[in-house]
Amino acid sequence: MNKILFALLALMFALSGCGDSTSASDSGSKGGSFPSNGDPDFYCEVTEGDNWWQMKVNIPKYKGIVEKFTYEDGGTGTQYYEESYFGLSSTEKMMMCMEWDQEIKEKSRKKNFKENYCGNGVFYSIIEYEGHTRESILGEVSSFEEECQRYKRKWENGEYNEEYDD
C-alpha cells in the first residue's frame, strides 16, 4: 500500500512541476507569446532594439518559437527561449514537460538558468550570462535571418503542412 501511495505522490509531484505554478517573465503570461492555437499565418520576424535582438517564428497548426538576447554594457545579459506547441492533448503536454524538465536538468550544469516554465504546451527558459562582448552576442544573433529563411523554405515546401495538418 505504501508503494502505491508513494507512486501516486511522486506522479502528482511530477505533474505539478509541469503545471502553472512557476511565474512567467518575458512571455507576459503563462500562455506564452502566441495565441493558444497560434496565429493563422506563417511568419518569421527578426527585430532589434538598442541592446536586444529577437527572432519570432509562427508555424500555423504546429508551433511558435521566440528567442531573444539582451545585453548590458558590463557584459551581462539574458537569453530567453520559448517554444509553444499548438493543438496538443493533455497527455502530450504532460510528456512535453517531462522531457523539458529532464533537458533542463542536464543543461543546468553548464548554464545559469534564471527561470524555467513548462505548462499548457508552452515551455521557456531564461539564461543569464556574463563576460560577453556585444560582438559575441551579435555573433549569436547573426544566424536569426538564416534560421528564418530555413523555416520559410520548409513552410513553402509544405514540410510542416503535411506532417501537422488536421
What are the tens digits of pLDDT across the range 8-39? Answer: 223 333 333 333 333 333 434 466 899 988 99
- Mean pLDDT computed over every residue of the chain: 79
Instruction: Evaluate whether 80 touches 67 at the Cβ level (below 8 Å).
Output: yes
CA 80 to chain CA mean position, Å: 8
Q: Mean pLDDT over residues 148-156, rounded?
A: 95
Of 150, 157, 159, give the one whose Cα is nearest residue 44: 150
- Cell numbers found for residue 5: 501511495
- Type of residue at 26: D
Residue 159 belongs to domain spanning: 2-164
End-to-end Cα, the chain, rounded Å: 43
Number of domains in the chain: 1
